[in-house]
Amino acid sequence: MSDNEPTMAHMDGSPAEVSLPYIRVVFQHGPPHEVGVNGCRVEDLVDVLIDKLLDFQGRALACDENATALHHLTLAKKALSDRRQHREQQGVYGADARHVSGDS
């Protein structure tokens, strides 16, 4: 990203874009129902990683370490799904507000 480009930020001021050599990720900033879809969610990145490792596992690159990584990424996906469900149930989904974690 050049110095001339505007920096995208979340409502709390944290960066909504990550730029590293060979990778650029733009995260959703602002509630989609208010600002539209303007970036990806963490869940989208997890899905990309799962797909890539599944591709590796389907050919000569299959290994136990990939299987372990897939297991943990699947757990991450479940945790993020649980987070969304809790936020929806507590009426804070799409808002810049905390929710109560767990079954509380």
Do residues 18 and 25 touch, judged by C-beta distance below 8 A? yes
pTM: predicted TM-score of the whole model, two decimal places = 0.79
Non-local (6+) Cβ contacts of 76 within 8 A are 46
**Which region, left, alpha or beta, applies to residue 91 given φ > 0 means left and ψ of -120 to 50 means alpha?**
left
Phi, psi of 19 (to 5 degrees): -125, 120
**Which region, left, alpha or beta, applies to residue 7 given φ > 0 means left and ψ of -120 to 50 means alpha?**
beta
Q: What is the pLDDT of residues 66-95, one digit of tens each?
A: 999 999 999 999 999 999 999 999 998 888
Q: What is the pLDDT of residues 15-73, one digit of tens each?
A: 778 888 999 999 998 888 889 999 999 999 999 999 999 999 999 999 999 999 999 99
